Structure formats: structure tokens, C-alpha cells
Structure 1
């Protein structure tokens, strides 16, 4: 096997390992939020997306400070955050809120997810740079 093949296999393992943690975390978070707050608003998806933005921001900040290796970025950024966060479910749940004649909740989900998600990403980058810069 060529060196490039081993590298690709290692990268796949890192992404897969992160995803193996992120996907169950998304599921468990959604279940916990539904149990606590009910199903009227998609708090589970909102939570995992914001947490994913924060984690990815920290990883990005650490990488820009030279403290996060490519392996760390693949494992946490691509693998864990990629499986933890979910744009498709966000879109579906927003559509369902609108279909259920809850336009204010649908709008709040869109505006809140984008605003809080971006804020979490910026905060994460700043924290990562501050911690490792």
C-alpha cells in the first residue's frame, strides 16, 4: 500500500472516530432536551448546533494559534462536529414549525440558530486563540 493510502485510511479513521462520538451525543442530547422541555420547540437540534459551533470555533482558534494538529482538526472538527451538528434536521424542524402554524417559533429557530451559532463560533475562536495563542 502506498503512503498516500495509509494517510487516507488514517484520516478516515479520525473522522470516523469523531463521528462515532458525535452522532450518539446528538441523539442523546435531543432525547434529553425533549424529555426536559417537550417537543414544542426543537431545543435538541438548537443545542447540538450551537455546541458544535462553539467546539469548531475552539478548534479553529487552536489551529490558528498552531496548537491543534491536522489530526485534531479531523477528529474534532470534521468527525465529531460533523456528526454532532445537523443542518438538515434544523431545516426540517423549522419547516414543521411553520407547517404547524407556529411562524414565530419557526422564525425564532432560524434567527436564534444563526445568531447564537455564529456568536458561539466567534467566542470559540477567541477562546481557542486566547488559550493557545
Structure 2
């Protein structure tokens, strides 16, 4: 069962990483992709264009590949070595993403008035990883 959870976490991390790369590509090139179309409800560029998409001078789409890349590296370290600090940091990062998700969804729906498919995939990826690692988070917090 433990290895099944590890594989689930790695697959979710890979999905989040790929979605973050596509999202960044869409933002950096200023183009829509077949999944996100201008003028529709799934308009990634509308979401990327809001002022709240910037944090400390960095666009969220440029930070996401680093976030998911780190999550993927930590999940691989956990799988290959069983290193406890790796899974604990992985869990903390995943739960941080999950806690930020309601605000990001609010921005999508109420400020941008569009849905970013890549963002939604990343949100779901973080949620799967967070749920799969909740026991490790509780251990890390001493609960």
C-alpha cells in the first residue's frame, strides 16, 4: 500500500509539473492552447492577465514549474530512499498549495471570470498529493 501511495504521488506530481509547463508556455508566449480558448469560460490568458497573478515581482505561472519540479524531486527521493524529511517537506508544500487554492479559484471565478484548465489540473494534483501524504504531515507536526 505504501508504494502505491508513492506511485500516486509521483504521477500526480508529474501531472502538476506538465500542467505548469503548459501554463507557463501559454503565458510566456501569450497564446491560447487547444484546451484554453479566448472568449470562452476556459480562458487561461484572462486568468494569467489579472494583477493578482503576480507575487513579489514573479508571475505565478513562472513559479509553478519550480514548485511542481521540487514536489516531483521530493517524491522521487521519498520513493528511492525513503528519506523522512523529503516526505515531510513534500507534504508541507502540497498542503500549502491546497490552502492557497480557494483564493486562487476565487481569483479565477470572480476577478478573471474565467477558468484556467492548467491551473485546475495543478490544484487537483496538489490536492491528491496532500491527501496522500496527510499522515506524514501530521507526523511532521507532532500530532
User: Shorter-chain TM-score: which interval?
Assistant: 0.3 to 0.5
Structure (1 or 2) with the larger CA radius of gyration = 1
Superposition TM-score, scaled by structure 2 size: 0.37
Name the structure with the higher helix share: 1
